[in-house]
Structure 1
């Protein structure tokens, strides 16, 4: 999105005739440029922000509006920088300071309001993650945080972060940091070569645009979730807008053609999210749709024609919405998610959705009136080169205080009252025959709700990891053994097997065995790629098979099934069975573990919302698990372990068992619960190894 702290942001330069010299002929210094206010830009910004809000609230798809913001940012930025270079030089310190002045205060207001509202209404199980993302949002690194977490942007609202939408502002902030440097380098290059500044800047932008677009195509095909949040896959959208700004005054089209272009851009943008199935292919080439729509509207400009699209874009309502589009974008997402949380809904109807939009517009209008406009008119921070930096730092102080207080509260509440397997917290042990509970009748829940999402198995913390001489294969030692010839158990597969490690470790420690891992997220052990379409997963598994066949461990532990969901969708892919057979040919036994369920919503959040034991959090076992996991073609070296009786009771699959949360999100076991599976899993492992 583009900041609207100054309405003058919608001013673009008229290029001097000598701006783009003929090939091989150095251009004279361009004449000073003059500004021309383009109201259709404000209308285009309003349309893009409305589409983002409406699509998020009611349609649940990507609209393409954010891509329009990126184009407009590049379109407006290059003129400001070139005008500065024509006046003498680009002051990077001052340029970055002005950017901070525009972006930081409204962003801080929204983040502070979101933190306070989250403390009141957000489930404690989501506090820790939200705290981290508030910090990354305030530092313009949220997109990289989401990329590292492999967040699915199209996830259900209840599992999304209330500040997740700051990913686009983060990319915009990074562009504002790097783009002026790029222009400065181009200007210096032009002066060194005696070439035209604008032609040199244009050449550099063409190269950057081509490289970024090519990278976007490649990464989207290889890893779409990473590509969605990756800064380099979006650079071409900014630089294409900048290129357009350099040449737009040389484009002289008939009025009737400009009218057609304007409507093509507007209609194309409005229909983008409906016409395109972007969930698996954005950004990639599909991002060209909204980008080219924005270009079409900008080329059309203000025609003054009675039948033109710009006549509507320049109408007063859209002009006003354009002026508040920046805070509107920032406010609408946390308002939506918190409204759904308070009303216990998974999607807003027309009434709630309308209330969300009205509230977001009101908050945006207040932010514009009380923050953006006063700052635009104020002389505070303008008196010195570093004044805007001091203003931004002072603005951040209240947010820092609020975040520190929230962190303190979270730290206190995260202290566990007990350990997995003690009398108060038997976990899966309580599902064994003859079990009698002897703990406290009001025992606390483990892990505490506020730290449930952090209950991961950090199997790399010991530092005993090494990359093997195979593609994309890392081996870590989870449990060491004093005897170098001790039997080795290899746990291989995806993050579900990572979370299963605490069930394996106790018997290994007791018997002096070693446990190593060959783990790659979202990549179950198979001869194919079961969950992602990239070749990397298949390469990892082929390397794992080769390494295991060569080292011949005492046992391999892997997934026996996948996709355990409501609707009885569980299956054992042929690639699983083939991988087990390949190990059998090498004389390696396999313990295949039936997978745990996956849910549409996160059980810990449900417990936070409705309370422990609430019927709303119970899922019928018969809707998830068939009575038996049948794998008739399993090779003789494979023993299947079915833990469904430990994860579910005869009728339900609950979010907690034996006072321990079963899941940390919507599909991963908590490390605490997994540890209580050890009494069931240990004897099965020992039986196979001792056989």
Structure 2
């Protein structure tokens, strides 16, 4: 969803968790359709990439069924009991969800390395507190999280969206009932009875209509520019639950049902048209589709049409309803919540363990295992608690909430402590030193020689050093450090002085995140050599005279174009003595002069050469000297993840450069040489003899596949200054 600010099809979705007794057969079948589409998308069925819209079906179904319960209680008693409502929710969702969270954390402790257990523990606590969507939105909008594997509990985000909605909606319903009662009492004492109940339903309908319209507007406005945050947001998703809730209130209207009852052809059209809309969304949408936004209307309205068509008893006799109500579909609908809970960790954790995508037979096995666990979980956990066979009293059921959170917290942080212990368990393994290798080439400096020693140690399958920097349970600290002006917010742009604020020389740095990871290095150089420094750096914003896409989305990255214009305007005023450029190539594609998107790598490189050349030539006109730092080598594997695998040695994590990426980086170098800009190549501080160690000495070199770690960057300050030809400024 994507990663890279796009919403990939691998982002998980969730089914409803409403009471299953006396459910319509077509609704249960619709739940089956929803979970099967999600399974297809997550299992990697390419032609069904839009299966992530299953979440929209689930939200509509959930909104309908939950509100149907509330309206039914209102009709029977004239009131809504919040205690009974939240007790039903607790019995319905918490036992199975808590079991899944606990089992996933325990499984991670046993099967994954410390690097995965620590963040998973935090994710699990957020999930238990119904805040996983907030956690995933923050992680998903963090550029440096993009290349990391998804969390095994990422799928709890949609459960969080539902529970946040249901924290608010019953309270709104109670307020509507109170207002309706007071108005009725002031009008001939009509606060009670059928007229009062009808008035309360009208208030409920008005309230949910307002919520739905506001949420839909928010979704349409925010999805294009904030795709990942919008995907996980309750504010952009509430309207989907609101459609179901409004539908539940409408079907209590005798007038609506009378019209529907008199038009059997309309019911057939609704159910078949609704199913067609769902299928169309699954086939037409993919990870590049901005979502939810207005695109979500297709599956949302499609599922609403199916539900409305079966609202009358005779509605279940339609062709579509009969297809949905066949026993296998009803059974899968019954298991849908448990099936959803288990399928995602079973698909994700093996990929983390194996460090590769699963094969089709492996995916099939994972999905089959999910069905088995779903059946067992439904029979032994979900159904007994839901039906009240266990902890039926309302007060006791409400204790599920604190008990669930406490249990997950204990297991999560107990797992982290155990993983931390495992990371340093066994005999002490020292760091690699220069003494571990034969005499190095005298032309190599000490750090280059240490890289050579680390390569040779890895080739000998030397164990991973016990005291790594950082520890395997603290890999998040590898993330490149930002400056005060990181320019992620396009509404605020200031110039921030780094380096030596009192320096009498000026350094300006252009680039994207691959300039950002040089900040610890360049700041040390700036302080030593008397440079006040300005980092005109924006993530994913390539330093070249060309429009790129957003990476993962085939939309022009216009914010980057705007930033580059602003940055260059500031740059011309700074009178730089030294300008440093460090930029990664475009992630996915660029736009040619005709405005057409180009995604073929050879063609991209052809377009990038003049784009780099023009940018460097413009920059070089306004500075004393320009230096291009050749982008560092990137890898297919993640160093921290590899090192934390149980039993891993340095040899298991000895990597090679990605050839296609190196070709694109060479385009930068050719452009710099054409302009006459100095090029500094630092790859000898990462690789030797075609091999690149994950650990140099005792330090992990990369945060992910392409970014240098915060811990390794300072060690290159002296070598980089030397290669840039800098001398201490007196």
- Give TM-score scaled by structure 1 length: 0.82
For residues 292 and 222 of structure 2, the distance between their equivalents in structure 1, rounded to whole angstroms, comes to 9
Q: Give 1:688 deviation, angstroms.
A: 9.2
Contact kept? 2:26, 2:316, Cα under 8 Å: no
Contact kept? 1:303, 1:310, Cα under 8 Å: no
Note the 1:332-481 alignment, pairs <5 A.
332-342=343-353, 345-349=356-360, 351-378=361-388, 383=393, 385=395, 387-412=396-421, 432=448, 437=453, 444=465, 445-459=468-482, 471-476=491-496, 479-481=499-501
Aligned to 2:171: 181
Aligned to 1:20: none
Q: Tell me, yes or no, if structure 1 residue 70 matches structure 2 residue 59.
A: yes
Q: Give 1:653 deviation, angstroms.
A: 4.7
Note the 1:672-683 alignment, pairs <5 A.
672-683=711-722
Q: Give 1:41 deviation, angstroms.
A: 1.0
Aligned to 2:505: 487
Aligned to 1:32: none
Aligned to 1:289: 298
Q: Deviations over 1:112-159 (max 9, x none)?
A: 100111112224332332222112211222222222122699x99982
Contact kept? 2:215, 2:235, Cα under 8 Å: yes
Q: Which moved more, 1:296-305 or 1:416-425?
A: 416-425
Contact kept? 2:15, 2:35, Cα under 8 Å: no
Q: Give 1:48 deviation, angstroms.
A: 0.8
Q: 1:85 to 1:480 in 2, by over 3 A?
A: farther
Contact kept? 1:51, 1:270, Cα under 8 Å: no
Contact kept? 1:604, 1:664, Cα under 8 Å: yes
Note the 1:78-117 alignment, pairs <5 A.
78-86=67-75, 87-117=77-107
Contact kept? 2:429, 2:463, Cα under 8 Å: no
**Any stretches of 5+ residues in structure 2 without a counterpart?**
1-13, 185-195, 438-443, 551-555, 589-599
Contact kept? 1:584, 1:637, Cα under 8 Å: no
Q: 1:434 to 1:665 in 2, by over 3 A?
A: closer
SS at match of 2:507: strand
Q: 1:384 to 1:48 in 2, by over 3 A?
A: closer
SS at match of 1:262: helix
Note the 1:638-657 alignment, pairs <5 A.
638-657=677-696
Aligned to 1:594: 630
Q: Tell me, yes or no, if structure 1 residue 200 matches structure 2 residue 203.
A: yes
**Any stretches of 5+ residues in structure 1 without a counterpart?**
12-36
Q: Deviations over 1:462-514 (max 9, x none)?
A: xx669999943255555455xx3443434444333222212223323333544
Q: 1:279 to 1:550 in 2, by over 3 A?
A: same
- For residue 706 of structure 2, the aligned residue among 667, 674, 679 is 667
Contact kept? 1:112, 1:402, Cα under 8 Å: yes
SS at match of 1:222: coil
Q: Give 1:360 deviation, angstroms.
A: 0.9
- For residue 214 of structure 1, the aligned residue among 197, 217, 220 is 217
- For residue 567 of structure 2, the aligned residue among 541, 544, 559 is 544
Q: Give 1:310 deviation, angstroms.
A: 1.4
Q: 1:420 to 1:147 in 2, by over 3 A?
A: farther
User: What root-mean-square deviation, in Å, do the aligned CA atoms of Structure 1 and Structure 2 show?
Assistant: 4.1
- For residue 243 of structure 1, the aligned residue among 239, 242, 246 is 246
Contact kept? 2:64, 2:246, Cα under 8 Å: yes
Q: Tell me, yes or no, if structure 1 residue 523 matches structure 2 residue 532.
A: no
Contact kept? 2:511, 2:537, Cα under 8 Å: yes
Contact kept? 2:510, 2:536, Cα under 8 Å: yes
Q: Deviations over 1:181-230 (max 9, x none)?
A: 33334444545655933233323323332232222222222122222222
Q: 1:656 to 1:689 in 2, by over 3 A?
A: same
- For residue 224 of structure 1, the aligned residue among 203, 223, 227 is 227
For residues 567 and 55 of structure 1, the distance between their equivalents in structure 2, rounded to whole angstroms, comes to 27
SS at match of 1:687: coil
Contact kept? 2:545, 2:614, Cα under 8 Å: yes
Q: Tell me, yes or no, if structure 1 residue 319 matches structure 2 residue 330.
A: yes
Aligned to 1:44: 30
Contact kept? 2:222, 2:230, Cα under 8 Å: yes
Q: Give 1:272 deviation, angstroms.
A: 2.9
SS at match of 2:669: coil
Q: 1:311 to 1:538 in 2, by over 3 A?
A: same
Q: Give 1:414 deviation, angstroms.
A: 7.1
Contact kept? 2:271, 2:320, Cα under 8 Å: yes
SS at match of 1:103: helix
Q: 1:530 to 1:344 in 2, by over 3 A?
A: closer
Q: 1:486 to 1:407 in 2, by over 3 A?
A: farther
- For residue 6 of structure 1, the aligned residue among 8, 19, 32 is 19
For residues 277 and 470 of structure 1, the distance between their equivalents in structure 2, rounded to whole angstroms, comes to 27
For residues 139 and 709 of structure 2, the distance between their equivalents in structure 1, rounded to whole angstroms, comes to 17
Q: Give 1:72 deviation, angstroms.
A: 0.9
Aligned to 1:24: none
For residues 74 and 322 of structure 2, the distance between their equivalents in structure 1, rounded to whole angstroms, comes to 34
Q: 1:518 to 1:303 in 2, by over 3 A?
A: farther
Q: Give 1:563 deviation, angstroms.
A: 4.1
SS at match of 2:119: helix
Q: Which moved more, 1:593-602 or 1:557-566?
A: 557-566
Runs (4+) of structure 1 exceeding 6 A deviation are 155-158, 304-307, 413-422, 428-431, 433-436, 438-441, 464-470, 564-571, 633-637, 688-691
SS at match of 2:580: strand
- Give TM-score scaled by structure 2 length: 0.78
Q: 1:525 to 1:192 in 2, by over 3 A?
A: farther
For residues 658 and 551 of structure 1, the distance between their equivalents in structure 2, rounded to whole angstroms, comes to 39
Q: Which moved more, 1:428-437 or 1:617-626?
A: 428-437
Q: 1:170 to 1:548 in 2, by over 3 A?
A: same
SS at match of 2:224: helix
- For residue 272 of structure 1, the aligned residue among 274, 277, 281 is 281
For residues 340 and 124 of structure 1, the distance between their equivalents in structure 2, rounded to whole angstroms, comes to 16
Q: 1:308 to 1:550 in 2, by over 3 A?
A: same
Note the 1:589-628 alignment, pairs <5 A.
589-609=625-645, 611-614=648-651, 618-620=655-657, 622-626=659-663, 628=666
Q: Which moved more, 1:614-623 or 1:466-475?
A: 466-475
Q: Give 1:663 deviation, angstroms.
A: 2.0
Q: Give 1:45 deviation, angstroms.
A: 0.8
Q: Deviations over 1:208-258 (max 9, x none)?
A: 322322222222221222222222221111111112222235143433442
Q: 1:688 to 1:269 in 2, by over 3 A?
A: farther
SS at match of 1:632: helix
